[in-house]
Amino acid sequence: MHLGTSLTHLTSVDSTNNYAAKLIKEGVVSSGAVIMADVQTAGKGQRGSIWDAKPGENLLLSVVLRHVNMSVNEQFVLNQLTALAIKDLLGKFGISSSVKWPNDVFVGEEKIAGILIESSISGNLIKDVIIGIGLNVNQTEFSGMRATSMLHQLKENFTVRAVLDELLIHLNYWWSKLVDNGKDEIHQAYLNHLLGFNQWRTFLTGNRSIEGRIDGVDEWGRLMLTSNDQKYVFDLKEITYCW
C-alpha cells in the first residue's frame, strides 16, 4: 500500500479526521488516501485539546488506512512511525527536532507538530485507521501555547503542498519498514529521538510533581519511568512533562 494514492484538498473543514471518518463510513475512500485542509474550524489535539492553526499557513491532513487488521496492542507503532516521518521531513529542511511522548514533535522546548490517530476496532483487531497530522509551516504567532514553525525556525516561507509531498516520502519509507516486519527498528529509532530518554526530568502526575527518568515506551504506548528507585508505567492521560 502506498500512502498518498489520492489527495482531497479542502478549503475549510471542521476536522480532517472527522471528514476522513465520514468517507470511511460511506465506503467511498481507499487506503492511502490523504485529506488536506487549509483550515480546520474544530481541529482536534490530544486530551480533547483544540489544534490552533491559522488558515492556509500550516499542513493539516489525515491519512486513511483501510482494513489494516493490526492487533490493538500494536497501534502505538503507527504513532512512532508518523513521528519519525515528521522528524525526517524537518531534518530534510534543516530543522533538528525530537519526538515528545506521546504524540508531538518538538524543536527545543517548542511544539512544531502534533499527531492524532483514531481507529475503529473489531474484536482484537484494528480495522481502519486515520492518522491526523498538524505541522506548523508558515505560522508565526501562537495563542496560549509554546510553539514554533518552519518559518520561525528558518526565516523563510514554504509552499505547504511541497511540504506535504516531502512528508509523504518519509511516511511511505517508515510504513514500508512496518510492512517488512521492522516494528523493532521503528521502536528503537523512536527511542533514539525521544525527548528526555534516559534523562532525569520533572513530571506532573495527578496534582503532584515527581522527578523521574524515562526508561522507554511499552508496546501499548505507555511511558516507562523510574522514580525514587521504583518503576512506573503511565498512560498518556496520567502524566505530563514539566518544563
In the chain, domain spans = 7-192, 200-241
- The share of the chain scoring above pLDDT 90, in percent, equals 86
Cα–Cα distance between 141 and 126 in angstroms, integer? 38
What residues have CB less than 8 Å from 180, skipping those under 6 apart?
Answer: none
27 phi, psi to nearest 5 deg: 70, 30
Asked if 146 contacts 109 with a C-beta cutoff of 8 angstroms, the reply is yes
pLDDT in tens, 91-116: 999 999 999 999 999 999 999 999 99
Cα–Cα distance between 49 and 173 in angstroms, integer? 30
Q: From residue 242, how far is each of 59, 61, 203, 223 by CA, in Å?
A: 27, 29, 5, 15
Q: What CATH topology corresponds to 200-241? A: SH3 type barrels. (2.30.30)
| CA of residue 243 relative to chain centroid, distance | 20
Looking at residue 15, its amino acid is S
Cα–Cα distance between 89 and 168 in angstroms, integer? 9
- The share of the chain scoring above pLDDT 70, in percent, equals 95
Asked if 72 contacts 124 with a C-beta cutoff of 8 angstroms, the reply is yes
Cα–Cα distance between 209 and 240 in angstroms, integer? 9
Element (H, E) at 100: strand 98-100
Asked if 214 contacts 194 with a C-beta cutoff of 8 angstroms, the reply is yes
Task: Determine the length of the chain.
Answer: 243
pLDDT at position 143 is: 81
pLDDT at position 46 is: 43
Q: How many CB atoms lie within 10 A of CB 124?
A: 8
What residues have CB less than 8 Å from 49, skipping those under 6 apart?
Answer: none
Partners of 128 in the β-ladder: 120
pLDDT in tens, 196-231: 999 999 999 988 999 999 999 998 999 999 999 999
pLDDT in tens, 168-179: 999 999 999 999
Cα–Cα distance between 107 and 97 in angstroms, integer? 5
Architecture category of domain 7-192 in CATH: 2-Layer Sandwich (3.30)
